[in-house]
Amino acid sequence: MLKMKSNLSHLFLPLSVMALLIIINLIKGADYFTISLVNGALYGNIPNILFGASELVILSIGMTLVTAASQGQDISIGVSATITSAVFVWFVLHAGEVTLLTIVAGFLLSCVAGLATGAFNGILVSIFKVQPMVASLILFTGGRSIAFMIDGKLSPILANDISNKIGTVIPGVPIQTPIILTVIFIAIVAIVLKTTNLRLYVESVGINRNAARLNGINPKKIIFLTFLIMGVCTAVAGFIAVNKAGRHDSVNLLKLIMMDAILAVAIGGNSLIGGKFSVTGSIIGAYTIEMLNRTLLRLEIEPAMIKVFKAVFIIILMIIASPVVRAYAKKTLDGIGNRSFSLSPLRVSGAESAVEKED
């Protein structure tokens, strides 16, 4: 009971933000949840959000783990996804006839590329102790040129039937393929977190590196591992993005997505200086950002002002999420219920409060 309560409580922030957005959307028009069937696939605002957010969701899962273990952020994720998808496109276009096999092989190859970019960042961060943001700045700066070279200095076209189905719908399946792929990915992550000690290790390293080392966990290995996982996340996100777009645009593919991914982690109630983490929160955070972007469009805010509105909304969010407001909310909540429970996995007042276990 206590555990369930605490799970729900740390999702309080992302869920309340989402609820707020839903209310705004419903005020604008009561048909917000309407879903219809178009060409055999579900169509409506909700499917659109799920479709549009797929890459962001996948990347924010990786970002959550990197943040938790390394106490910093990887800003090269969009660039990394551009490189992995360039490898994918290169393979598919050079493998002769496009079959399901070449697509899968290309995807696996792009995962290898993702592991390579992840390892590059991971080595810099874990072994050379470079700040994650500085380490990933290298790839962020030079990566698109690498992708451009892999592309043969052009934007190659991926106009084949299978890619088209991956980017839109498979006939007979009522849900768009990117949504299905995202769900599969989330399921795999959930299984890994449930069946392995990954969460425990990552959190220990993130909370106190030295304490983790004294307990027999190698922090270098764990941090390196989170960057490898991030690499796989970028490969999957790049795969979805490039199949959606139908061509590889090394200049603009997933540009600036790291901002939204970091924001998703923060909205998800995670601390950006590492420690305990909630992947569920980040996933909800990612969908919330997508919903926010679309809400601004639905409110027909003029193009020149749209960024300002987004910024204002985010400032409000961050204030609500700040330790000061949270501590106040916790106090109030404690006053209401007679049992006290931790409001969030966020380290409100330093490492001590986060170390206490709640099982």
Interaction between residue 245 and another protein (CB under 8 A): yes
Rounded distance between C-alpha atoms, residue 166 and residue 55, angstroms? 13
Query: What's the Cα-to-Cα distance from 158 to each of 92, 151, 179, 244, rounded to whole Å?
Result: 8, 12, 20, 10
Number of residues that bind another protein (CB under 8 A): 42
> Considering only residues 19, 154, 192, 315, which one is a binding residue for another protein as defined by CB under 8 A?
154
173 is a site residue for another protein (CB under 8 A): no
Q: Is 244 in the site for another protein (CB under 8 A)?
A: yes
Among 6, 131, 155, 218, binds another protein (CB under 8 A): 155
Written as six digits, the tokens of 282 are 């980040």
Residue 242 Cα distances to 78, 92, 159, 341, 343, angstroms = 12, 12, 11, 44, 39
Stretch that binds another protein, among 130-138, 143-151, 230-238, 317-325 (CB under 8 A): 143-151
Say how many CA atoms lie within 13 Å of 163 toward its Cβ.
25
Is position 29 an interface residue for another protein (rule: CB under 8 A)? Answer: yes
Residue 22 CB, nearest distance to another protein (Å)?
14
Nearest approach in angstroms of CB 305 to another protein is 10
**Interactions with another protein, residue window 249-288 (CB under 8 A):** 249-252, 255-256
When asked if residue 44 is in the footprint of another protein (CB under 8 A), the reply is yes
Residues 170, 177: contact at Cβ < 8 Å? yes
Minimum CB distance to another protein, residue 192 (Å): 28
Contact string (CB under 8 A) for another protein, positions 296-315, x = contact: -xx-x-xxx-x---------
Binding another protein by CB under 8 A: which of 164, 180, 186, 218?
164
Segment contacting another protein by CB under 8 A, of 131-139, 191-199, 221-229, 292-300:
292-300
Given its phi and psi angles, is residue 308 left (phi above 0), alpha (psi -120 to 50 degrees) or beta? alpha
The residues, ordered by sequence, that sit 6+ positions from 108 with a Cβ below 8 Å of its Cβ are none
Establish if 191 lies at the interface with another protein (CB under 8 A): no
Nearest distance, CB of residue 312 and another protein, angstroms? 17
Q: Where are the alpha helices (DSSP H) in the chain?
A: 2-10, 12-28, 45-52, 54-70, 77-94, 100-126, 132-150, 161-167, 177-195, 198-207, 209-214, 219-245, 257-267, 279-298, 306-321, 323-336, 351-355
Asked if 71 and 125 count as a contact pair (C-beta separation under 8 A), the reply is no
Binding interface with another protein (CB under 8 A): 29, 38-39, 41, 43-45, 48, 51-52, 144-145, 148, 153-157, 159, 164, 167-168, 176, 244-247, 249-252, 255-256, 293-294, 297-298, 300, 302-304, 306
